[in-house]
Amino acid sequence: MTRWILSRPESLTEIEQLQPKAVLANSPERDAPTSHVRSFATILTERQSEQLPEWLDAVRQNDLPSLHTPAAGIDRDHDAVTADLTLPRSSDMIEDHVNRIKTLKRQMFGRAGSQPLQKRACCRDTQRRRHTS
């Protein structure tokens, strides 16, 4: 059911489109959460920050505790969420670097302190710069 809800309806096969309809017909209480999740997915994938306040209001009006927590988190970080949906910048490069350091740290676990890790991380950065220059 989760996959059906989180997938774009046009990307599902004909049978996969009918199955969630049958489930929702038998349990109408799932209709509202399904609608909210799909509309939120659209807001994220199409970067429609202007739709976010309307979505939050709609979630608050429904008695859906499972969606109240994520909505409260979005409210708390509203400026950051809006910036992420509107600005063309990305933190991918920074996250890649952090993930690389974490991987190295795991590989070096239990070895003589932080100096070998620093040496290995610095050497790799130097090698990368040589290859890209």
| pLDDT tens figures, 68-97 | 888 889 889 888 888 888 887 767 778 888
Instruction: Say whether both 79 and 107 belong to one domain.
Output: no
Q: Give 1-47 pLDDT, tens digit per residue.
A: 677 777 777 777 877 777 767 776 666 567 778 788 888 888 888 88
Looking at the 3D structure of the chain, how many domains does it have? 2
Instruction: Say whether both 80 and 30 belong to one domain.
Output: yes
> What is the separation of C-alpha 6 from the centre of its chain, rounded to a whole number of angstroms?
12
Instruction: Say whether both 64 and 126 belong to one domain.
Output: no
Instruction: Say whether both 14 and 71 belong to one domain.
Output: yes
Residues of the domain holding 60: 2-86
Query: What global pTM score does this model have?
Result: 0.56
What are φ and ψ of residue 16, in 5° steps?
A: -65, -25
Q: Give 31-42 pLDDT, tens digit per residue.
A: 778 788 888 888
**Helices 52-61 & 78-86 angle (0-180, nearest 10):** 140
